[in-house]
């Protein structure tokens, strides 16, 4: 495993491990360039380095994001221990990120 210092905009197929030891593979994600992120979230997210996963609240629902070069990738579908996890709420819950807004470091698996 190695730390994530530079990540591409397309993370599909990439496998990660969190600081807590949770491993997952990105099945589907959606890239958002920094200029396309809402101002309230952009102020927070632009201060974070690449290679972090964080959950932000969007219309009251947690959305899991991975910070990448000049933006973020929203997690839409992941594979965790052979089980497909769909949707922002469920992904945030299984990765134990639900609305904490605290970034968690990722390791490339």
pLDDT value of position 99 = 52
Say if residue 88's pLDDT is above 70.
Answer: yes
State the pairing for strand pair 52-58/71-80.
unpaired
Cβ atoms of residues 37 and 56 within 8 Å: no
Domain containing residue 22: 2-108
- The mean of the pLDDT values for the chain is 88
- Tell me: the pLDDT tens digits for 50-62? 999 998 888 888 8
Per-residue pLDDT band at 47 (split at 50, 70, 90): confident
More reliable by pLDDT, 6 or 78: 78
Number of domains in the chain: 1
Rg of the chain (C-alpha set): 12
Per-residue pLDDT band at 100 (split at 50, 70, 90): low
Tell me the DSSP string of the chain.
-EE-S---S--TT-EEEETTS-EEEEEEEEEEEGGGS-HHHHHHHTTSPSSEEEEEEETTEEEEEEEETTEEEEEEEEEETTEEEESHHHHHHHTT-TTT---EEEEE-
Which CATH number belongs to the domain containing residue 7 in this structure?
3.10.25
């Amino acid at each position: 495993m190695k730390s994530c210092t530079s990540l591409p905009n397309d993370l599909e197929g990439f496998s990660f491990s969190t600081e807590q030891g949770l491993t997952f593979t990105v099945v589907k994600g959606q890239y958002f360039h920094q200029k396309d992120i809402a101002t309230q979230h952009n102020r927070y997210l632009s201060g974070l380095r690449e290679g972090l996963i964080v959950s932000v609240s969007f219309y009251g629902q947690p959305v899991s994001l991975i910070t990448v070069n000049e933006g973020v990738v929203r997690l839409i579908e992941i594979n965790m221990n052979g089980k497909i996890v769909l949707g922002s709420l469920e992904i945030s819950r299984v990765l134990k990120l639900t609305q904490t807004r605290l970034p968690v470091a990722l390791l490339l698996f």
